[in-house]
Amino acid sequence: MKQGTFWSWVVFIAGAIYFFLPLIATFEFSMRARRGVYSFDAYRSVLADPQFRDTLSYSVVLALLTIVLGLAIVTPTAFWVRLKLPRLRPYIEFITLLPLVIPPIVIVFGYIRLYNTASYLPLTGSLRGTDFLLMCGYATLSLPYMYRAVDTGLRSIDLVTMTEAAQSLGASWTTIILRLVLPNVLVAILSGAFLTFAIVIGEYVLAALLNRPAFGPYMVWMGGNRAYEPAALAVIAFAITWACMGLIQLLTRFQKHTSKKR
Amino acid sequence: MTIASHTDTSPRRSPLALPGWSWNWLGVVPFALFALLFLILPTIQIVFGAFRTPEGDITLRNIAGLMEPNILHAAWVSIKLSLISALGGCIIGLGLAIAVIRGGLPSVLRDATMTFSGVASNFAGVPLAFAFIATLGRLGIVTLLLRDLLGINLSALGFNLISFTGLTLAYLYFQIPLMLLIIAPALDGLKREWREAAESLGAEGIEYWRRVALPVLWPSLLGTFALLFANAFGAVATAMALTGSSLSIIPIILFAQIRGDVLQDPHLGYAIAFGMIAITGIANLIYIILRSRAERWLK
Amino acid sequence: MAFLQLKSLIKSFGPVRVVQEFNLDVARGEFVSLLGPSGCGKTTVLRMVAGFESPTSGQIIIDGADVTGLRPSQRNVGLVFQSYALFPNLTVAGNIAFGLKVARKPSDEIATRVKDMLKLIGLPDLGERYPFELSGGQQQRVALARALAVRPRVLLLDEPLSALDAKIRVSLRDQIRDIQRELGITTIFVTHDQEEALSISDRVVVMNKGRADQIGTPHEIYNKPKTEFVANFVGTLNAFTAVVTHAAKGTIKVNDTAITVPHLREMQLTNGAQVKLGLRPEALHVGKQPAPATNLPATVEDVHFLGSVIRLRVRLGDEVMSIDTFNRSTEKPPVIGGKTTISLNPTDLILIQ
């Protein structure tokens, strides 16, 4: 037992070094912009760059829209399938897992070919159309995470019994969804939403191939043209991801507290 | 009883419903439409395109076009990269998971590790490349520290971040945490009683892991491996940002093909994309077959 | 000399002492139950014998050898859990063969032993099934076979029946006892179910707050409980207080009724002292009985029909007591509110101290 604990420490510390070194290094590197002393020059220059603000806000808006779209598609479907069409569940689940198997680059390639200017639905013909396509692409990428989060949330509340109980007490469908289902899966929905946010913010391939000015392509462009700013961007991107995950953790912990009272 | 009779007569079926026919399926139409338009049709477009000439005739020439040495080489590098990073991710991730969950470490470390894994598994892409450049690049902190403090010159030793090894090292940064996230619940599913039963029957330590724990975990391990493989195989951003296009792996070649737009043969892009689907598809097929074998003892 | 000896076992988790000064000698082939409410330390004692907890102090001796410091894998002790804990990845035969394979026995020997074991537990044809394909009762029998296959010196059963349905619980209980007798294996059985403990044990240890309150045969435990806890925990007990009116004669007074209790004479009580007495429900009778029985007037407050037995709640003055009477189809059952006379035999009174 003692010996086992010793090796556990060894493995853990080795892992911690591997995972923390790049973070420390990135931070250190981002401070090296001024010769000989540590400074926040790289951050200053990034923050002063109008492109930074434009691309980041573009990505943030897109992420929020993606979340709305994703929830609008996933939540009612997951709810309905659990309640009325349980036999369809394996098939729906299979479809939602496909984006993990089909590489994003292949999916976006399909978009470009399917929705080009000569097609029935020439989405890539206009900027708004391309934005919409990009949003749909992101919603597709987040499908596995979103569906899983919401479905897990629904599973934990025994939907059928609860709905029947509510109906027997005279509740309408609107009441059931707004007062019973939503509050119970809210945490799950929010977790999915934050995860989607984290994925969309730094995404590169889709945005680059659809030629939209998102944060991901901007970071790559900076990487090719600047020395220290990319590190600063990485720190910022990491902070955003961390904030999203932190919020998920906070939410799940909050949920644990409320559901313990059962 | 009153509840049961009430639900039976409750307005579950719409008044329009014919006996044996239900409008319930209408509820999944939005989802089905979305999946069709933005997931299934684009994929079918690729698959069909791979077997058609620009004029629309059926052909195998596009697929034959994949047999060029540079594409085959890139495919091989991609498969190798995905296999090694997935294998590494699985083994190291499992080791870390065991250490953190079963190794007698304080439970605070477990929570911290899981939270961190949630972040790190999503830290793929461009920022990850920058982080590794800042760590092991030519001016990276580790490179400099090794040179200045220990006199070790990494590049003289043959290490180059912009290489297969470097990329594998970077990929592990999101592969290991992904493994941790997926395998942790499976490890929690190992009952304490199994271990105790094994011990009282004379099997402890390695023997317990070999005979009980690993076989029980095997389906999860296989599944995670397939997922990690696909994850690495389709990844573009990290490699692009880290190596530019100096390391030729399949997704980067496809990226260049799509971006370039001026292809001698635009349908070669289809063929490459189809090849990618085929490989991740085969990987998953193998996984499904292996899993159904490994899961004979599961319901 | 006893085959399994537990000597002054003490176990503390931090500041909490869960087992205190526990002593027990188990003879070879004996079946001993540890009975008590949850948290009384019975499982901890079992886990110390198995080697999963090391005692804070004290000794565990099996067949003359001190095993206190040995690891579980070195003790050759069979263990059966409440949750069966069969290895899900192995077939029934694979589970039973597990310990033999670990011990690297020759494969033909393993095959014969597995076959014997399957026959012993009455599942000769289920060797190739996986645990999930079996019912709870079958799984627990396989778990028993797995523990017994390595011919352990001691068999430890940790609430093995608690997860099962009532009917299966009784039949498996009898089966466990049969197998134990057939193999003559020294067995410790942990349970919180007093009926279970009384029905299959050679001796029962009633545990309370980490201590052994009483160790004795089921007969002794039920009829001569040494402490109030034992009296209350094992079976149903009507408890009431009485005043000693004539210590030398053993006369006491309950609700103005004087009763002379022969076995109280030896107890050296003092006149006027209050004593606590107990009476089992089956020791009370409905209807008058001749002396030396005492007859008391009572009112029926409640009637519970339990099948072979009818349990009455009757009021005698301030006391409410339970009475068990056999259900005879020819007799009319008592009615609630009815007046009746109940009788008791003074020798059935239990003095609780």
Local confidence band at B5 (pLDDT 50, 70, 90 cut-offs): very low
CA-nearest residue to B293 within chain C is: C89
- Nearest residue, CB atoms, B201 vs list C52, C99, C130: C99
Write out pLDDT tens, residues C210-231.
999 999 999 999 988 888 899 8
DSSP lists the bridge partners of residue C188 as C32, C156
Mean pLDDT of A219-237: 89
| Per-residue confidence (pLDDT) for residue B12, from 0 to 100 | 45
Q: How many CB pairs under 8 A join B and C?
A: 80
Q: Taking the domain C4-229, which CATH number applies?
A: 3.40.50.300
Q: Which residues of C touch B (CB under 8 A)?
A: 50-52, 71-73, 75-79, 81, 83, 85, 87-91, 98-99, 101-103, 130-132, 143, 146-147, 150
Do B237 and B181 fall within a single domain?
A: yes
Q: Which residues in chain A have their CB less than 8 angstroms from residue B233's CB?
A: 103
What residue spans define the domains of chain C? 4-229, 238-352
Contact yes or no for C276/C288 (Cβ under 8 A):
no
B131/A22 Cβ within 8 A: yes
Question: In chain A, what is the straight-line distance between the N-terminal and C-terminal CA atoms, in Å?
Answer: 37
Confidence of residue B299 (pLDDT cuts 50, 70, 90): low
Of B27, B43, B276, the CB nearest to A84: B27
Give the highest mean pLDDT range of B134-143, C46-55, C246-255: C46-55
Single-letter residue type at A147: Y
Count of CA atoms in the C-beta half-sphere (13 A) of A31: 11
Per-residue 3-state assignment (H helix, E strand, C coil) for chain C: CCCEEEEEEEEEECCEEEEEEEEEEECCCCEEEEECCCCCCHHHHHHHHHCCCCCCEEEEEECCEECCCCCHHHCCEEEECCCCCCCCCCCHHHHHHHHHHHCCCCHHHHHHHHHHHHHHCCCCCCCCCCHHHCCHHHHHHHHHHHHHHCCCCEEEEECCCCCCCHHHHHHHHHHHHHHHHHHCCEEEEEECCHHHHHHHCCEEEEEECCEEEEEECHHHHHHCCCCHHHHHHCCCCEEEEEEEEECCCCEEEECCEEEECHHHHHHCCCCCCEEEEEECHHHEEECCCCCCCEEEEEEEEEEEECCCEEEEEEEECCEEEEEEEECCCCCCCCCCCCEEEEEECHHHCEEEC
Q: What is the Cα B112 distance to its own chain's centre? A: 23
Confidence at A1, pLDDT banded by 50, 70, 90: very low
pLDDT at C94 (0 to 100): 94
d(CA C276, CA C272) in angstroms, rounded, equals: 13
Alpha carbons within 13 A on the beta-carbon side of A28: 18
Q: Which pLDDT tens digit goes with each residue over C307-324?
A: 888 999 998 888 888 999
Tens-digit pLDDT profile for residues C236-282: 888 888 888 888 888 888 777 788 888 777 777 788 888 888 889 98
Which H or E run contains A94?
Answer: helix A89-101
CA B233, CA A103: separation in Å to the nearest integer? 8
**In whole numbers, what is the pLDDT of chain C averaged over residues?**
90
Fold of C238-352: OB fold (Dihydrolipoamide Acetyltransferase, E2P) (2.40.50)
> Which of the listed ranges A78-92, A243-257, C36-50, C232-246 does the model predict with the highest average pLDDT?
C36-50
Between B174 and B22, the more confident residue is B174
Is residue B90 domain-shared with residue B163, that is, in the same domain? yes
Contacts of residue B217 in chain C, CB cutoff 8 Å? none
Same domain, B149 and B232: yes
Q: Using CB atoms, pick whichever of B200, B212, B216 lies closest to residue C79.
A: B200
CATH number of A40-259: 1.10.3720.10
HSE-CB of B5 using CA atoms within 13 angstroms: 2
CA A230 to chain centre: 22
**Pairwise CB contact (< 8 Å): B39 & A245:** no
Neighboring chain C residues of B201 at a CB cutoff of 8 Å: 73, 98-99, 102, 146-147, 150
Exposure on the CB side of residue B83, measured as CA atoms within 13 A: 8
Q: Does residue B104 sit in the same domain as residue B202?
A: yes
Tokens, residue C266: 């030896």
Q: Which chains touch C (3 or more CB pairs under 8 A)?
A: B
Nearest Cβ partner for A106 among B46, B99, B103: B46
pLDDT at B113 over 80: yes
Residues from chain B that touch C91, judged by Cβ atoms under 8 A, are: 297
Residue B154 lies in a domain: yes
Mean pLDDT value of segment B147-169: 84
pLDDT of residue A27: 92
Q: How confident is the model at residue A258 (pLDDT cuts 50, 70, 90)?
A: low
Assess whether pLDDT exceeds 90 at residue C140: yes
B neighbours by CB contacts (3+ pairs under 8 Å): A, C
Pair B152, B48 in one domain: no
**CA distance linking residue C1 with residue A225, whole number of Å:** 87
Cis before C333 (ω within 30): no
Best of B193, B194, B201 to mutate (most C CBs within 10 Å, chain C)? B201
- The DSSP bridge partners found for residue C351 are C277
Q: Which of A229-233, A246-250, B230-234, C125-129 has the lowest mean pLDDT?
A: A246-250
**ipTM confidence:** 0.86
The three-state secondary structure class of A119 is: coil
Residue of B nearest to C51 (CA): B200
Query: Cα Rg for chain B, rounded, in angstroms?
Result: 25
pLDDT of residue A256: 60
pLDDT at C147 exceeding the cut of 90:
yes
Residue contact C89–B215, C-beta within 8 A: yes
Query: Using CA atoms, how far apart are residues A253 and A243, in angstroms rounded to an integer?
Result: 15
Whether the pLDDT of residue B6 is over 50: the answer is no
Average pLDDT value for chain A = 86
**Minimum-distance CB partner of B103 among A4, A30, A165:** A4
Q: Supply the pLDDT for residue B17.
A: 45
Q: How many angstroms away from the CA of C203 is the closest CA of chain B?
A: 25
Percent of chain C scoring above 90 in pLDDT:
56
Taking CB atoms and an 8 Å limit, are C73 and B296 in contact across chains?
no
In angstroms, the first-to-last Cα distance of chain B is 33
Which residue of C83, C87, C139, C144 to mutate against B (max B Cβ within 10 Å)?
A: C87
* pLDDT tens-digit map of B62-104: 888 888 888 899 999 999 999 999 999 999 999 999 999 888 8
User: What pLDDT band is residue C56 in, cutting at 50, 70 and 90?
Assistant: very high
Do C110 and C101 contact (CB within 8 A), yes or no? Answer: yes
CA of B7, closest CA in chain A: separation in Å? 6
Given a cut of 60, whether residue A259 has pLDDT beyond it is: no
Summarize pLDDT for B256-287 with one digit per residue, the tens. 888 875 455 667 888 999 999 999 888 888 88
State the smallest CA–CA distance between residue C268 and chain B in angstroms.
51
How crowded is the C-beta side of A247, counted as CA atoms within 13 Å? 17
Q: Which of B41, B59, B77 is the last residue before a domain boundary?
A: B59
- Count of beta carbons in the 10 Å neighbourhood of residue A259: 12
Number of structural domains (chain B) is 2
| Confidence tier at A69 by pLDDT (50, 70, 90) | very high
A203 Cβ contact list (under 8 Å, min separation 6): A59, A138, A141, A214, A216, B125, B237
Residues C84, C172: contact at Cβ < 8 Å?
Answer: no
C330 CB burial (10 A radius; 0-12, 13-18, 19+):
exposed
Q: Give the residue on B whose Cα is nearest the Cα of C80.
A: B197
Instruction: Please report, as a single letter, which amino acid is at residue C70.
Output: L
Residue B7 belongs to a domain: no
Band of the pLDDT at A65, cuts 50, 70, 90? very high
B99–A102: do the CB atoms touch at under 8 Å? no
The domain locations on chain A are 1-30, 40-259
Q: What percent of chain A has pLDDT over 70?
A: 96
Q: Are residues B260 and B173 in the same domain?
A: yes
pLDDT in tens, A26-54: 999 999 888 888 888 889 999 999 999 99
CA–CA separation, A150 and C31 (whole Å): 53
CA B157 from centroid of its chain's CA atoms = 31
Contact status, residue B278 vs residue B203, Cβ threshold 8 Å: no
A250 has which bridge partners? Answer: none
Q: Minimal Cα distance from B236: which residue of A?
A: A205
Beta strand pairing call for C154-158 and C77-80: parallel
Q: Does the pLDDT value for residue A261 go beyond 80?
A: no
**Same domain (yes/no): B190, B171:** yes
CB C118 within 8 A of CB C124: yes
Q: Does residue B287 or residue C22 have the better pLDDT? A: C22
Q: Which residues of B touch A25 (CB under 8 A)?
A: 131, 134-135, 140-142
- At A238, the amino acid letter reads F
Note whether C276 and C302 are within 8 A (CB). Answer: no
Give the model's confidence band at B8: pLDDT under 50 very low, under 70 low, under 90 confident, else very high.
Answer: very low
Alpha-carbon distances, residue A11 vs A14, A15, A131, B180, C5 (angstroms): 5, 6, 45, 13, 42
Chain B positions in Cβ-Cβ contact with residue A136 (cut-off 8 Å): 34, 37-38
* Domain residue limits at B279: 69-294
Residue B11 banded pLDDT, cuts 50, 70, 90: very low
Give the per-residue pLDDT at C350: 85
Distance CA C90, CA B297 (A): 7
Residue A262 has pLDDT above 50, yes or no: no
Residue C48 has pLDDT above 90, yes or no: yes
pLDDT-based confidence at residue C197 (cuts at 50, 70, 90):
very high
The vertex-C98 CA angle with C108 and C170, nearest 5°, equals: 110
Q: Is residue B20 part of a domain?
A: no
- Tell if the CB–CB gap between B130 and A100 is shorter than 8 Å: no
Contact B93, A227 (CB under 8 A): no
Residue B101 lies in a domain: yes
The distance of Cα C353 from the centroid of its chain, to the nearest Å, equals: 21
Alpha helices in B189-266 (DSSP H): 192-200, 206-208, 214-234, 237-243, 250-260
Per residue in A166-215, pLDDT (tens digit) is 888 888 878 887 787 777 788 888 888 888 988 898 899 999 999 999 99
Which residue of chain C comes nearest to B212, CA vs CA?
Answer: C87
Tell me the residue type at B149.
L
Chain A residues in contact with B241 by the CB 8 A cut-off are: 204, 219-220, 223
Is B52 strand, coil or helix? strand
A242 CB-side CA count, 13 A? 10
Q: Over chain B, what is the mean pLDDT?
A: 83
Quick one: tokens of C95? 């589970």
Cβ contact (<8 Å) for B298 and C88?
Answer: yes
CATH number at residue B255: 1.10.3720.10
Q: Is residue B5 in a domain?
A: no
Of residues A1, A25, A205, nearest to B236 (C-beta): A205
Interface probe with B: pick from A5, A7, A19, most Cβ of B within 10 Å? A19
In terms of Cα–Cα distance, which of B67, B244, B261 is closest to B166?
Answer: B244
